[in-house]
Structure 1
Amino acid sequence: MHGFFVFSKRGSKIGGVSVTLYFASVLPGLEDVLSDEINHKLIDSEVIQINRGKVFFTAAESFTCFNSLRSADNLFQVLDQFQIGPHKKHLSQVRERISQLDLGFMGRKDAFWVNASRKGKQTYSRFEVAKEAIEGIHKRYPDWKIGTSRNHQIEFRIDVEHHHVIFSLRLTKATFRFRNQRRRFSPASLRPPVAHAMVWLSEPASTDVFVDPCCGSGTILSERGAYPADEIVGGDISDEITKIAKSNLDGLEVVVHVWDARKLPFSDGCVDKVVTNLPFGRQISPDGDLQLFNHQMMHEIWRVLKPNGRAVILSDSANQLFWEAERLDLYCLKSYLLSLKGLNPTLFVFEKQGRT
């Protein structure tokens, strides 16, 4: 679903319950994963619309509940929606509309800023849209201090898509997607929300023996640590990288080894879930054979998985992984094409069939 939708700006009632409209930004390709997480974690929530990189939903909970949405990059409260023309002469509509909004519920006078995005054939820039929005807020609240892009405490967002405008308040800090922690990252590390989406697709259970064969700096392991498990294990071929992983995982019940992922120290059919980010072409040594590596990794993942065990794998070798999975009787439950760091890897969800 795309485009404009009708929902009042704040404090609406559905079935006698007061609900608010929000949206969460997410890595393009993972919208359905985040929607599923919202439906499972937020009581009385409803996904209203899914756009590329955004999931709109209503919820009755306080904001503290939304911290559980770990597949989201950021969270926003929708304050207003309206339509606007494509020419510069129409920009004044932004200023006037926003100047009429009651933002007093925030109860704060900290420095604010507005970021903007624009999609369509308008004759104005996103910076001009942001400027009009800032002027509209300042017109209504002249004692509010206007900050800068780098120095502000309150952040609003205005998104223009063709004729449609959504004005929102950012609820999360810049560090939200990094779990509000200082982390050490190895080359090609995943952002925590992407790692969490992979964990979520594994359907975490408290009885899981969970393994990440190529754990890097431990982001997937860290996200799996947010849920109970019988055992969480990971490893990497680099001693230096595993030291980074251990420092990032300090305080979690996670075991990290130095190992060759193609020769895992597990007996056949003893692992419930394997979730991993396989090295992409640029991450393999110049003399490495990526096709051979993938072949060996897929066989090893199949070997250690229990019958009906699940493997969630991110790779840019989509065709080969499909072929390898078919050869091994790993059934592809789902696949997602992502937009990640200028590449378009595929996220696969495989299930091991009954044969051993």
Structure 2
Amino acid sequence: MTLYFASVLPGLEYVLSDEINNKVTDSEIIEINRGKVFFTTAKTFTCLSSLRSADNLFQVIDQFQIGPHKKHLSHVSERISQLDLDFIDHNDLFWVNASRKGKQTYSRFEAAKKVMEGINNHYPDWNIGTSQNHQVEFRLDIEHQHVIFSLRLTDATFRFRGQTRRFSRASLLPTVAHAMVHLSDPKSTDVFVDPCCGSGTILSERATYSAKRIVGGDVSGDVTKVAKSNIDDTKAQINVWDARELPLSNGCVDKIVTNLPFGRQISPDEDLKLFNHHIMNEICRVLKPTGRAVILSESVNQLLGEAKRLGLLCLESYSLSLKGLNPTLFVFEKQDEL
């Protein structure tokens, strides 16, 4: 069993741990910290790459203790120089990124330099790259006296699903969109709707699972063009519509997952409270009894009030740290009609 950790948007740690348990069958969650989930598994990287709520994946190489002063950095280089790193391709340029939390008298850059010295002491033929030019990236995380040394397994293309995707203004990160889809408990029989689909990130993530039907829409024709360019027509139907008046019949939808407008998505002259009121009415109307709605919004108190009025039970909520904002992710279930 190998120890790994996955980085994740703060607030989604337990969503990611649930995804790990569901997709990595032999995994054991070891520890959950802010923005990180540690777990062990014997599975290959191919299996780990199915964890679409994770921002990045790391293999833990070593853990040890260190003091808070500059003189203690010599212990870092000594410790690293004793590690067996033969499993890494030495023909590639390497780099070390470091972070620190605590009252140390040294900087993270000084710590990273000591790691590179330690690697070169053991492997003098290995070449150090730059922050912008390297193929192998190590990570050193110092939290007070505890140190974790790891190898980064993923690059930026992992969390952004490649370089060809187009994003509209204020688009969700694919990792956050996938966490929302995961919370909807996707089933192959689902009729799935995103009433405010934007550039289609949520729809794209839902399309990684089978479904009876996947539908999305947005009030902007330009934005829906971006969404259509991101999604295969055979996987999702995309419409121009007003989410406050959905062209869908009552009780026809199993799952709704959507990012309601907030922050930079709202124009100064728009009445957000009224907007949310109408959208929540429509969400409740089109949902089947026991249907699930996963909604991201900054209007915490209003959404809880609207949900109570409409008979939507709040199953879970997660406070996120997202682009300087703190929206809440809600999981609602429509009460079964008596």
- Report the TM-score range of the alignment, normalised by the length of the smaller protein: over 0.9
* Partner of residue 242, structure 2: 260
- Per-residue CA deviations over 1:63-108 (Å, capped at 9, x if unaligned) read 1111110000000000000000001111111111001000001243
Could you say what secondary structure the match of 1:223 adopts?
Answer: helix
1:251 Cα deviation (Å)? 5.7
Which of the numbers 149, 156, 160 marks the counterpart of 2:138? 156
* Partner of residue 129, structure 2: 147
Assess if the C-alpha contact under 8 Å between 2:195 and 2:243 holds in 1: yes
The aligned runs of 1:130-141 (5 Å cut-off) are 130-141=112-123
Could you say what secondary structure the match of 1:105 adopts?
Answer: coil
Which of the numbers 31, 36, 39 marks the counterpart of 2:18? 36
* Partner of residue 38, structure 2: 56
Cα separation, 1, equivalents of 2:142 and 2:264: 36
Assess if the C-alpha contact under 8 Å between 2:56 and 2:158 holds in 1: yes
Find out whether 1:186 has 2:168 as its counterpart.
Answer: yes
1:182 Cα deviation (Å)? 1.7
Assess if the C-alpha contact under 8 Å between 1:281 and 1:290 holds in 2: no
1:180 Cα deviation (Å)? 2.1
Find out whether 1:125 has 2:112 as its counterpart.
Answer: no
Which of the numbers 302, 306, 321 marks the counterpart of 2:303? 321
Assess if the C-alpha contact under 8 Å between 1:199 and 1:223 holds in 2: yes
Amino acid at match of 1:348: F
Which of the numbers 223, 227, 235 marks the counterpart of 2:209? 227
The aligned runs of 1:1-356 (5 Å cut-off) are 19-250=1-232, 252-355=234-337
- Per-residue CA deviations over 1:30-78 (Å, capped at 9, x if unaligned) read 0000000000101211010000000000001111111110000000000
Amino acid at match of 2:325: L
1:350 Cα deviation (Å)? 0.1
Runs of at least 5 residues in structure 1 that lack an aligned partner in the other structure: 1-18
Further displaced range: 72-81 or 283-292: 283-292
Cα separation, 2, equivalents of 1:282 and 1:144: 46
Assess if the C-alpha contact under 8 Å between 1:87 and 1:123 holds in 2: yes
Cα separation, 1, equivalents of 2:234 and 2:57: 26
1:136 Cα deviation (Å)? 0.7
Amino acid at match of 1:295: H
Cα separation, 2, equivalents of 1:201 and 1:31: 13
Assess if the C-alpha contact under 8 Å between 1:201 and 1:349 holds in 2: yes
Assess if the C-alpha contact under 8 Å between 1:237 and 1:260 holds in 2: yes
1:250 Cα deviation (Å)? 2.8
Could you say what secondary structure the match of 1:349 adopts?
Answer: strand
| TM-score normalised by the chain length of structure 2 | 0.99
Cα separation, 2, equivalents of 1:107 and 1:325: 54
Amino acid at match of 1:65: C
Could you say what secondary structure the match of 1:175 adopts?
Answer: helix
Runs of 4+ in 1 over 2 A off after TM superposition: none
CA pair 70-60 structure 1, distance change in 2 beyond 3 A: same
1:281 Cα deviation (Å)? 3.9
* Partner of residue 11, structure 1: none
Cα separation, 2, equivalents of 1:290 and 1:300: 15
Assess if the C-alpha contact under 8 Å between 1:276 and 1:312 holds in 2: yes
Cα separation, 1, equivalents of 2:155 and 2:319: 28
Amino acid at match of 2:188: S
Further displaced range: 273-282 or 30-39: 273-282
Could you say what secondary structure the match of 2:181 adopts?
Answer: helix
RMSD: 1.0
Could you say what secondary structure the match of 1:273 adopts?
Answer: strand
